[in-house]
Structure 1
Amino acid sequence: MQVSQQLNPTGSCHCQVNAGSPAVVLLCGQKLKDQILTMRNGVGKLTLLRLGLKQARRIIAINHNPILKNILVAAFFSLSAWAQSSPPAGALIVRQTNSGTSGEEFTTISSAVAALSRLTGPQTIFIYPGTYTEQVKISYPYSLSLQGYSSNPTSSASNQVTVRAAVSAAQAGSNSKSATIWAYSPGIRISNLNVINSFGTGTDTQALALAATGRRQVFKHCVFSSFQDTVSIEGTSYFFESRIEGAVDFVFGSGSAWFEAVILAIKPASSPVITAQRNSPGGITAFVFNRAQVISAGASAGSAYLGRPWSEDATVIFQFCSLSDVINPAGWRIWAPSQPNTARAKFQEYRNSGPGASTRARQLGTQMSSQVEISSILGSDYSTWAQ
Structure 2
Amino acid sequence: MLSKVLISFLLAGTLSLCASSPPTGSITVGPEGQYPTLSAALTDISSNVYFIYGTIINERVVITRPNITVYGQTSGESTYAENLATIYNNIPASAAGSGEASATVSIHASATDVKLYNLNIANTYGRGSQAIALSINSTRFGAYGINLTGYQDTLLTMNGLHFFSKGCINGAVDFYVIDQSNIMGAGKQYLGRPWRSYARVVFQNSVLGSQIQPAGWSEWAVASPETDNIFYGEYNNTGPGAWDIARVSFATNMTEGLTMDTVFGGSTSWVETDFL
- TM-score under structure 1 length normalisation: 0.65
Q: Give structure 1 stretches of 5+ with no counterpart.
A: 1-69, 99-104, 250-274, 276-286
Q: Which amino acid aligns with 1:341?
A: E
- The separation in 1 between residues aligned to 2:196 and 2:170, in whole angstroms, is 23
Q: Which has the higher contact order (CA 8 A, sep 6+)?
A: 2
1:253-297 Cα deviation digits (max 9, x unpaired): xxxxxxxxxxxxxxxxxxxxxx2xxxxxxxxxxx2000111011x
The alpha-carbon deviation at position 176 of structure 1 amounts to: 0.6
**In structure 2, C-alpha distance between the alignment counterparts of 1:307 and 1:198, rounded to whole Å:** 23
Tell me how far apart the structure 1 counterparts of residues 42 and 114 of structure 2 sit (CA, whole Å): 12
Amino acid at match of 1:291: Q
**Cα distance in 2 for residues equivalent to 1:148 and 1:315:** 32
- Specify the alignment match of 2:113 in structure 1: 187
- How many angstroms apart in 1 are the aligned matches of 2:18 and 2:163? 21
Q: Distance in 1 between matches of 2:76 and 2:180?
A: 21
Give the superposition deviation at 1:380.
1.3
What is the one-letter code of the residue matched to 1:192? N
Stretch moving more, 187-196 or 122-131: 122-131
Alpha-carbon displacement from aligned partner over 1:153-186 (angstroms, at most 9, x marks no partner): 3211110011111011111101111111112221
Residues 161-240 of structure 1 aligned to structure 2 (within 5 Å): 161-184=85-108, 185-201=111-127, 203=128, 205-234=129-158, 235-240=160-165
Letter in 2 for 1:345: I
Q: 2:148–2:168: 8 Å Cα contact kept in structure 1?
A: yes
Aligned length: 262
SS at match of 1:232: strand
Aligned to 1:368: 254
Percent identity, aligned pairs only, is 32
In the superposition, relative to structure 1, how do residues 126 and 177 fare at CA in structure 2: closer, same or farther (>3 Å)?
same
Whether the 8 Å contact between 2:57 and 2:87 is mirrored in structure 1 is yes
- Counterpart CA distance in 2 for 1:384 and 1:108 is 27
Task: Please tell me whether the aligned partners of residues 18 and 117 of structure 2 are also in contact (alpha carbons under 8 angstroms).
Answer: no
The offset of 1:241, in angstroms, is 1.1
Go from structure 1 to structure 2 and tell me whether the alpha carbon gap of 1:74 and 1:382 turns closer, same or farther (over 3 Å shift): farther
Q: Contact (CA 8 Å) 1:132, 1:162: kept in 2 or not?
A: yes
User: Which residue is 2:5 aligned to?
Assistant: none
1:288 matches 2:177: yes
Relative to structure 1, the CA distance from residue 209 to residue 384 in structure 2 (aligned partners, 3 Å threshold; closer, same or farther) is closer
Looking at secondary structure, tell me which structure has more helix per residue: 1
Stretch moving more, 374-383 or 217-226: 374-383
Cα distance in 1, alignment partners of residues 265 and 67 from structure 2: 18
Q: CA deviation at 1:385?
A: 3.5
The equivalent position to 2:170 in structure 1, one of 235, 245, 251, is 245
The answer on whether the counterparts of 1:238 and 1:386 sit within 8 Å (CA) in structure 2 is: no
Question: In angstroms, what is the RMSD of aligned CA positions?
Answer: 1.8
- In the superposition, relative to structure 1, how do residues 337 and 375 fare at CA in structure 2: closer, same or farther (>3 Å)? same
In the alignment, what sits opposite 1:110?
A: 39
Give yes or no for contact 2:202–2:233 (8 Å, CA) kept in 1. Answer: yes
What SS does the corresponding residue of 1:382 show, helix, strand or coil?
coil
Q: CA deviation at 1:379?
A: 2.7
Report the equivalent of 1:60: none
CA contact (8 A) 1:82 1:152 kept: no
Deviation of 1:75 after TM superposition, in Å, equals 3.4
Mapped to 2, the partners of 1:386 and 1:158 lie a distance apart of 20
What TM-score do you get using the length of structure 2 for normalisation? 0.90
SS in 1 for 2:12: helix
The answer on 1:340 being equivalent to 2:275 is no
- Given that 2:32 and 2:53 are in contact with CA atoms closer than 8 Å, whether structure 1 keeps it comes out as no
